[in-house]
Structures are given as structure tokens and as C-alpha cells.
Amino acid sequence: MTHTPDALVQHHAANLAGRDFVVGDLHGCVEALRFLLREVEFDTARDRLFSVGDLVDRGEREQCEQALALLDKPWFYAVLGNHEDALCAVAEGKMPRNRWYGIGGGWAQSVPDAELVHYAQRLRQLPLARVVGEGEKRFNIIHAEFFGDDAALDSGQFDSVVRERMLWGRDLVLGTGDPARHALSLTFCGHTPVREVRQIGSQVFIDTGAFITEGRLTMVEALTSRIWSVSQVEALAHGAAAIVLP
């Protein structure tokens, strides 16, 4: 199963009733997410949580499956990450399991093929980009990076090079890309771990390495300066395992 252009970009109306949050690469660190949702007093009736992708890999099976279960929450909106794309490639016979295990998919060694196919069918419904609001209040969510303006993003006409960049690109963070030439609204990205939230041009990188021992899971409130972060260890020490996701 592959994306169709209509599914590549999903638009959301501005949230006039509550708050919008964006969370960095989760990689199965669900306890850290539980802690952060409690910290911000997340209201499922009014608030929304957007994800830059990479819900799975580099974690244990139970945590990765709990992360995938977030996709069924009505307040949770993810984009496809490169690790979800790899899972789909394995399920579709386009990538050997061992290659996936080498980049963090080891949690799935005991997961039957049929179950992987089920996950892949759900993940292939995720867009490469989400667009929230309009005008000055607009913001975008992608996984890695995007070289283009809002019109190019809205078009959903992504060739293989652009798609690869949106899932795997690191040029902006590595300093080999020029973000200044693109009229792009504020865009939240993950993929490349950074020590702290970092803005390059209009693209804001919020993956602070939750799966790394010294790393943290970061969540921001969109269109504000509010940032929260916590390590998986700290979250567990503060009782996050007992917190029930809303």
C-alpha cells in the first residue's frame, strides 16, 4: 500500500476551544509522555496533541505497542516518521527484517508477520505533513525537514527526493541546507536529536533524544514559548507508570 496525493497532507482547523501541543520523537517512551500530559493538565475534550512521528523503535515491545495504540486516541495526530516507514517496508516485503532491526526495530523480533501487516495498514494512513490553521496562526508538522514554501507543502505533490527528505533529511541541522530562501510557516520537525529545542529558519526541531540515556522527551505548546521536557528515568521516578493515558 502506498500514499495517494490526497492522503499526504492533512489540514486541521485552528483550535479555538483549547490548546495544541506538539511532541518530539517518542520511540516508545510512553511513560515520559504520560508525565508530560499530566504536567500540562491535558484536556482531551479541548486540547490536541500532534506528533512529529517515530512513535516506535529503539524501545521495548510493550512500550512500542502502547505508542502505536495512541493512533486510536481521538486527540492524537501523528505524521509518518522514517521508523514507521521502515516498519511498513518490512510488512510490505520491501525491506528485510534484519535491516530494520539494525536501526531500532528489534522490539518486533517476536511480532508475527500478520501483526506487522496490521500495524502497517494503520500507519500507511498517516500523512507526511499536517497543517493547522491559516495565515499568521498557521503551523505545520512534518518528520524531518522540508525545502519549499507553504504552497508546495499544501500541494502534496512530493516526488521521491522530496519524500525522502521529509522522512530522512538532516541537511538543515547539519548546516548544509539554506532555510532562508523558503516562505514556510512555522514547522515542527523531529528526526535529528538535538540537545534542546532549536529553530532553523521557520523549522523548529523538537527531538531531544527521548530514547537516549541522557535525552529527554520534549513537548511544546504551538504558537507559544512554552516547552516541557522530561527523561524516561525521571518520569518513572515520579510515578508515570501508574498514570493512565486520557
Catalytic residue set: 83
Which residues, other chains included, contact 224 with Cβ-Cβ below 8 Å and sequence gap of 6+?
none
Residue among 28, 2, 20 at smallest CA distance from 219: 20
The residue type found at 105 is: G
Instruction: Give the three-class secondary structure for 66.
Output: helix
Tell me whether residue 36 is exposed, middle or buried, using C-beta atoms within 10 angstroms of its C-beta: 0 to 12, 13 to 18, 19 or more. Answer: buried
Let me know the angle formed at the C-alpha of 109 by 73 and 142, rounded to the nearest 5 degrees: 40
Residue among 65, 67, 57, 64 at smallest CA distance from 101: 57
Please tell me what DSSP assigns to residue 143.
S
